[in-house]
Amino acid sequence: MTENKTKLNNLPFENLEVGMEASLEKTIHADDVAAFAKLSGDANPVHTDPDFAAQTQFGKPIAHGLHSATFFSAIFGTMLPGPGSVYISQSLTFKRPVFVGDIVTATVQIQSIDVDKRRILFRTLCRARQRIAVDGEAEIYVPET
């Protein structure tokens, strides 16, 4: 499913530093878009109907924006900060569409760390076709283990 560029599993909270980052890549397939539509209930024809999508500004179906954003959750829960981490918040700005066949690279980078609250602020980016498709910030809580 994914190809990890950086793997930082089980790094102790005390070892986390501003600037650390982790990424993963995934190619978006038509069956991924169909599965996301079924799972989310979002059957908007701009995602699921090539004839409808051909009449839009995109010219063909686009992947759900939140589909790409889910890759951040995968990174947070498995790589950085890793298992046990919990989402507090996420902001997202969708800059460009992602199409079937695109390789999406999701990257998170530590911007600040609140040691007392065990919370980390991340910059979150998804790139497709070497351009930013999704931009945002996330706050993650890291419980004591």
The answer as to whether 103 is a domain residue is yes
- pTM of the predicted model as reported, rounded to 2 decimal places: 0.88
What pLDDT sits at residue 142?
95
Strand order in the sheet with 119-128: 3-4, 21-27, 103-114, 119-128, 131-141, 86-94
CB–CB of 96/132 below 8 Å?
yes
Residue 75 has pLDDT above 60, yes or no: yes
The string of pLDDT tens digits covering residues 5-39 is 444 467 789 999 999 999 999 999 999 999 999 99
DSSP 17: -
Q: How far is CA 142 from the centre of its chain?
A: 18
The string of pLDDT tens digits covering residues 116-141 is 999 999 999 999 999 999 999 999 99
Q: Could you tell me the residue range of the domain that residue 94 belongs to? A: 3-29+62-141
Looking at per-residue confidence, does 82 or 6 come out higher? 82
CATH of the domain at 100: 3.10.129.10
The answer as to whether 94 is a domain residue is yes
The answer as to whether 110 is a domain residue is yes
Any idea which residue has 């800059």 for tokens?
95
The count of structural domains within the chain is 1
